[in-house]
Amino acid sequence: MVLVKVSDIKLNIDLDEKAAFEKALKIAGIKKENVRDGKIIKYSVDARHKDHIKKIYTVGLYVDKYGKNRKNVTVINHEKKYKPEITGNSKLNNSPVVVGFGPAGMFLGYMLAEYGYKPIIIERGSKVEERIKKVEKFWNTGELDTNCNVQFGEGGAGTFSDGKLNTGIKDKFNRIGFVLDTFVKFGADKNITYDAKPHIGTDILAKVVENMRKYIESKGGTFYFDTAFTGFATKEGKLESITLNGNEKMYTDICTLAIGHSARDTFEMLYENNVNMEQKPFAVGVRIEHKQSTINKSQYGFEDNRIGAANYKLTYNTSKNRGVYSFCMCPGGYVVNSASEKNKTVVNGMSYSKRDGENANSALVVTVTPKDFDGDSPLAGVEFQRKMEEKAYEIGQGFVPVQTYRDYKDNCPSVKIGNITPQIKGNYRLADLNAIFPEYINESLKEGIEYFGEKIKGYNDGDVILSAVESRTSSPVRIVRDENFQSNVYGLIPAGEGAGYAGGITSAAIDGLKIFEYITSKYKPVN
């Protein structure tokens, strides 16, 4: 049996997948009764011409044989599947430990359990069911649990986001396909496997995470929730044990640190224990909200969501050579208070699977480098973030500070909003965001927003809402590792976004897969 791939199938926006299959059969010259199975391989929208928007499909048809030569038709005799092999022979004295159950930890833990390694997974936050309650309590009352919040807990920071899965990394091993298929296996919609801009949605992602945990447990994995990784010990230059909650010792040969980009106390502990770390660039800025109908009108030519809520991706280099760009754009989404430390305010964005909220929001951020930080400590970027988060908390009086773009541009505090109502999880207060940032960030944001107004009509309208501070775009540190994924403490393996080796759900999950591959190349499963 072969896979006949029919690409560049263009349909009017009122047609659906059924029409795509029918057109694929016609293009390929295949009779419906000869098709064993079929699937959508890729879907996107071509909106370059607003009066002639098209849905673009690539369809796969499984048939016994195919010998024709037709335009836009290719034959795949062997589909590439991700299937790692165990080649290691060394014995593990203890089960491997994974610290953190965000995307990197989830996929590493899943694969270790699937292949018989019986992983132990440490998560400082709570199970996702309990975590949701604690996060909603924080949004409603302001009462913050510093170990379980939007940043920490089962599923990682991505659980309270849009669940975007697109990535720009190269992938010759089909790890990306495996990650997407695994999410579907545990409850995500199958459309993430072919959508050009796949997303799961916060409401669905929480259930996917829970299902993955239960499967890992069924395969011999063990979870310790509400448990902090607080130290480690070595013997003869190698990892011997880790410390939990300050006083509990656990012996292990391998501990993977999938700790996330906000585990600042863990970064500090590692630095104090001479784990090699370095500063890295990241970006800071605001969340910007527009009516979703405004974005739809600009991108599609009509205001409604008939082909889904429109998104955008914008970049600009300022007159002073600062990068300004949109990040983590959430169509029909919400701005969320994402604090993880007392007396600090952080914002992020999230969408539910239907993306049917009234507003669109996106991070709008400015690149910063170690040259902008005070001092040469590996943790200087963390302190750079903290200063802005403290100022945001101060001017918002504990709430998310918001401002209209008109007032932000004019350097005056907002006293009223216009025709866009902030769509925020958590309380907000009108303020002057200029007070939060160094002047070069304010200048860069204003210049960028004016430029983006030339690309998207209405982007720089005065009533547009800004909120602050978007400071957790990526990790401010990198935990140094070698070609075998090892830190300078052998057995202590940095992983994922927090360690500085990924930038989103999919790339972090793939980093977890790579570490699994390394472990299986050295060690055999636990007896």
What is the 8-class DSSP label of residue 32?
G
Q: Do both 430 and 288 map to the same domain? A: yes
Q: Do both 333 and 273 map to the same domain? A: no
Q: Do both 270 and 285 map to the same domain? A: no
pTM: 0.96
Question: What CATH code is carried by the domain that includes residue 28?
Answer: 3.30.70.2700
Q: Do both 352 and 431 map to the same domain? A: yes
Q: Do both 427 and 346 map to the same domain? A: yes
Q: Do both 125 and 269 map to the same domain? A: yes
Q: Do both 318 and 422 map to the same domain? A: yes
Q: Is residue 87 part of a domain?
A: no
Q: Is residue 499 part of a domain?
A: yes
Domain end (from 426, 443, 470): 470
Distances (CA, A) of 263 to 100, 105, 178, 496: 10, 14, 28, 12
Q: Is residue 83 part of a domain?
A: no
Phi, psi of 71 (to 5 degrees): -65, 140
Question: What CATH code is carried by the domain that includes residue 493?
Answer: 3.50.50.60
- List the domain range (segments joined by +) for residue 328: 281-470
Q: Is residue 85 part of a domain?
A: no
- Give the C-alpha separation, 451 to 445, whole Å: 10
Q: Do both 501 and 445 map to the same domain? A: no
- The region that residue 3 occupies, defined by phi over 0 for left and psi between -120 and 50 for alpha, beta otherwise, is beta
Query: Which of 389, 260, 369 shows the shortest CA–CA distance to 323?
Result: 369
Six-digit token string for 87: 């080649």
Q: How would you write the pLDDT of the chain (527 residues) with one tens digit per residue?
A: 999 999 999 999 999 999 999 999 999 999 999 999 999 999 999 999 999 999 999 999 999 999 999 999 999 998 889 999 999 999 999 999 999 999 999 999 999 999 999 999 999 999 999 999 999 999 999 999 999 999 999 999 988 987 889 888 888 899 999 999 999 999 999 999 999 999 999 999 999 999 999 999 999 999 999 999 999 999 998 999 999 999 999 999 999 999 999 999 999 999 999 999 999 999 999 999 999 999 999 999 999 999 999 999 999 999 999 999 999 999 999 999 999 999 999 999 999 999 999 999 999 999 999 999 999 999 999 999 999 999 999 999 999 999 999 999 999 999 999 999 999 999 999 999 999 999 999 999 999 999 999 999 999 999 999 999 999 999 999 999 999 999 999 999 999 999 999 999 999 999 999 999 999 999 999 87
Q: Is residue 492 part of a domain?
A: yes
- Give the C-alpha separation, 258 to 240, whole Å: 19
Phi, psi of 340 (to 5 degrees): -130, -5
Phi, psi of 110 (to 5 degrees): -60, -45
Q: Is residue 420 part of a domain?
A: yes
The total number of structural domains that make up the chain: 3
Q: Is residue 226 part of a domain?
A: yes
- What is the predicted pLDDT for the residue at 162? 78
Task: Look at strands 428-430 and 400-404 and give their pairing.
Answer: parallel
Q: Do both 67 and 112 map to the same domain? A: no
Give the length of the chain: 527
- Give the C-alpha separation, 212 to 215, whole Å: 5
Q: Do both 290 and 250 map to the same domain? A: no
Q: Is residue 527 part of a domain?
A: no
